Amino acid sequence: MVSLICAGIYDADGWTPYRGPSEDVLTVFKGQCKSLRQAISSYIRRTGQSIVMDEEKDKDMVSSLLEFKASLDSILEESFSKNEAFCNTIKDSFEHLINLRQNRPAELITKFLDEKLRDGNKGTSEEELEGTLDKVLVLFRFIQGKDVFEAFYKKDLAKRLLLGKSASIDAEKSMISKLKTECGS
């Protein structure tokens, strides 16, 4: 049953938005939403697990997760009209997969942020940097070990500031403000 439901939106490369004649997937598959949500959850967990659990690709994990999340958001918007049930399915599945390796994603996200906030990334504009920080913050929301993230982030922030390696004090303040807003402290 699940394979029949997904036949219209799944191809060999992954999920693609359904582009039927002025209908979204929910209209086409009335009554099958639970099965479709289960299929999407399974796909997210399977694909995400290959990203998160591959220790050889740790360096690219955050970038891969950001791309994967962007594609899921696109599917949610274009194919499911931002349906709340599908949104929750995607969130739950993504939270599950990002916490498969306990603290490692938190550490890799801080390393990714450190790289973006260092002097070496002067090739990007302030707007692009802010956009990247916002996208990374979405991943941060899924992390269960926020205290681990905080410890790594504090250490990297101190190094950047003490060694004068920060690309922008404004970007540093912006990220700290976003983290305060997110954590409530």
> Which regions of the chain are under pLDDT 50?
1-18, 21-22
Q: Which domains does the chain have, with CATH numbers?
A: 1-101 (1.20.1310), 102-184 (1.20.1310.10)
Taking only the tens place, the pLDDT of each residue in 46-99 is: 999 999 999 998 999 999 999 999 999 998 888 888 889 889 999 999 999 999
Q: Report the pLDDT value the prediction gives residue 9, as an integer from 0 to 100.
A: 45
For 119-148, give the DSSP string: GGGTTS-HHHHHHHHHHHHHHHHH-S-HHH
List of E strands, the chain = 10-11, 14-15
**Among 25, 48, 47, residue whose Cα is nearest residue 139:** 48
User: What H or E segment, with its residue span, contains residue 61?
Assistant: helix 61-80
Of the CA atoms within 13 Å of residue 129, those in its CB half-sphere come to 24
* pLDDT of res. 25: 61
CA distance 54 to 133: 24
Residues pairing with 11 in the sheet: 14
Phi, psi of 118 (to 5 degrees): -80, 165
Q: What is the pTM of this model?
A: 0.79
* 183/179 Cα distance (integer angstroms): 6
